[in-house]
C-alpha cells in the first residue's frame, strides 16, 4: 500500500476541501468544508461522543429517503457554529447543486461541531454563514492545509494544540481510502509512558519522522492541562472512498473510522466529547467483494489514525488572551 499523491482526502477523485478561519481580536475558530463531486456522494455517519453537536445526521440513516449528500461541514463554534452550514448551502444553491424540489434545489449538507468557544478570548467570535461561504470558496482538489486551519483553528487535544490532519492510502487494485480529522479531544493523542503519538503506529513506511522524547518533554506532555467541563472537546472525521457503497456501507465505513479514532486518542468517546465520523462513497469503482470490503474497512481505521497524527504534528503553538496551547513538535523539539 502507498499514500495517494497528496496523502489527503482530496486523493479520492471528485472530493474538494476548503478551510476558512476567523480573523480579528479574540478570534480562534473556523470552518472546514468537504465538497462532494457533481451528483453528490453516498453518505453515512456514526456519532459516538456523549456531547455531540450535529446537523442532518438523521437523513444519513439507511432508511431515510435522500441517498446522496452534496457537502459535509466540520466547524468550530460549538452549536453556534452550525450557522456556517447556511453559507455553504447558499453557495451550493446558487450553483444549482442539491436535492431538486419545485422551483429550486435543497443542498444536503450534514455537519458536526467542535467546542472552541472563548479560546481566542472572545466567546462571540465564532463561525457564521460568511465563514461557511469562505470555506466553500477556498475549496480545491489539491494538497490540503493542515494544523491550525479551518475547523482546527481553535482545537486542542490532551492539553496541546490540536488541528486538522489528513491522510490517504491506495489499495491493491487502485481503490482509494482517505480521511480528514479535526483533533479536539479530551483524551490524549500521545502515549503517557513514552510521549509518542498513538496514531503514528498506523503510519506507512517513511510517513512519519522518528521522534525521541526526552524526560523534560515527557514531563511537559504529562502535565499539559486538560479541558474542564462537559461538551468542551470532540474529534471529528470524514473517511471517504471511491469504491461503491450504499448508505449502510458508508455507515459501516464511519464505524471503522471510529476504530482508528480510538486507537489514536485515549480515551475516546467520553462524556466530554462529541466524537462523530462521516463516511462517504463517490461510487466510481465497483462494489468490493468480501475480502475487498475487509481490506477497505481496515484501511478506513488506519487513515483516521494517521490523519489524527498528522493533525497533531502540523499544529503550531498558539497564544491568545485565553491561554497558551503548545504544539506537539515544539514540546518534543522536532
pTM score of the predicted model:
0.95
Of the CA atoms within 13 Å of residue 315, those in its CB half-sphere come to: 38
Alpha-carbon distance of 120 to 315, in angstroms, equals 16
Q: What is the DSSP string of 206-230?
A: TSS------HHHHHHHHHPPPPPST
- The fold for domain 9-332 equals 3.60.70
Share of the chain above pLDDT 70, in %: 98
pLDDT of residue 270: 84
Buried b (16+ CB within 10 A) or exposed e, 197-227: bbbbebbbeeebeebebeeebbebbeebeeb
Cell numbers placing 279:
463516511
Q: Find out whether 160 and 307 touch, Cβ atoms under 8 Å.
A: no
pLDDT in tens, the chain (334 residues): 899 999 999 999 999 999 999 999 999 999 999 999 989 999 999 999 888 999 999 999 999 998 999 999 999 999 999 999 999 999 999 999 999 999 999 999 999 999 999 999 999 999 999 999 999 999 999 999 999 999 999 999 988 999 999 999 999 999 999 999 999 998 899 999 999 999 999 999 999 999 989 999 899 888 877 665 555 789 999 999 999 999 999 999 999 999 999 999 998 888 888 899 999 999 999 999 999 999 999 999 999 999 999 999 999 999 999 989 999 999 998 8
Question: Locate cell 444549482: which residue?
Answer: 96
Q: Where are the domains of the chain?
A: 9-332
pLDDT of residue 229: 56
Per DSSP (E only), the strands in 126-183 are 156-157, 160-161, 164-170, 176-182
pLDDT of residue 334: 82
Cell numbers placing 251:
455507515
Amino acid at each position: 500500500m502507498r499514500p495517494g499523491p497528496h496523502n489527503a482526502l482530496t486523493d479520492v477523485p471528485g472530493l474538494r476541501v476548503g478551510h476558512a478561519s476567523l480573523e480579528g481580536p479574540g478570534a480562534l475558530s473556523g470552518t472546514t468544508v468537504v465538497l462532494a463531486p457533481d451528483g453528490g456522494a453516498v453518505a453515512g455517519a456514526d456519532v459516538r461522543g456523549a456531547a455531540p453537536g450535529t446537523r442532518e445526521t438523521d437523513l444519513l440513516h439507511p432508511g431515510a429517503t435522500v441517498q446522496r449528500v452534496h457537502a459535509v461541514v466540520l466547524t468550530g463554534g460549538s452549536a453556534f457554529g452550525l450557522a456556517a452550514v447556511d453559507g455553504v448551502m447558499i453557495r451550493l444553491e446558487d450553483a444549482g447543486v442539491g436535492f431538486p424540489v419545485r422551483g429550486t434545489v435543497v443542498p444536503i449538507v450534514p455537519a458536526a461541531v467542535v467546542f472552541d468557544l472563548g479560546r481566542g478570548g472572545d466567546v462571540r467570535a465564532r463561525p457564521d454563514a460568511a465563514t461557511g461561504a469562505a470555506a466553500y470558496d477556498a475549496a480545491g482538489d489539491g494538497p490540503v492545509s493542515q494544523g491550525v486551519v479551518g475547523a482546527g483553528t481553535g482545537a486542542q487535544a490532551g492539553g496541546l494544540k490540536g488541528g486538522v490532519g489528513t491522510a490517504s492510502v491506495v489499495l491493491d487494485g487502485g481503490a482509494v481510502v482517505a480521511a480528514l480529522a479535526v483533533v479536539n479531544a479530551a483524551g490524549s493523542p500521545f502515549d503517557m509512558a513514552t510521549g509518542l503519538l498513538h496514531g503514528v503506529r498506523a503510519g506507512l513506511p517513511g510517513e512519519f519522522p522518528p521522534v525521541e522524547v526526552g524526560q523534560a518533554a515527557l514531563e511537559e506532555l504529562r502535565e499539559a492541562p486538560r479541558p474542564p467541563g462537559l461538551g468542551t472537546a470532540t474529534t471529528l472525521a470524514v473517511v471517504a472512498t471511491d469504491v461503491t457503497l450504499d448508505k449502510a456501507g458508508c455507515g459501516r465505513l464511519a464505524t471503522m473510522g471510529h476504530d482508528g479514532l480510538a486507537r489514536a486518542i485515549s480515551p475516546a468517546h467520553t462524556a466530554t466529547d462529541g466524537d462523530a465520523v462521516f463516511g462517504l462513497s463517490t461510487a466510481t469503482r465497483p462494489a468490493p467483494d468480501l475480502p475487498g470490503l475487509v481490506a477497505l474497512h481496515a484501511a478506513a481505521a488506519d487513515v483516521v489514525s494517521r490523519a489524527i497524527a498528522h493533525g497533531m504534528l502540523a499544529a503550531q503553538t498558539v497564544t491568545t488572551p485565553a491561554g497558551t496551547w503548545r504544539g506537539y513538535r515544539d514540546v518534543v523539539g522536532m
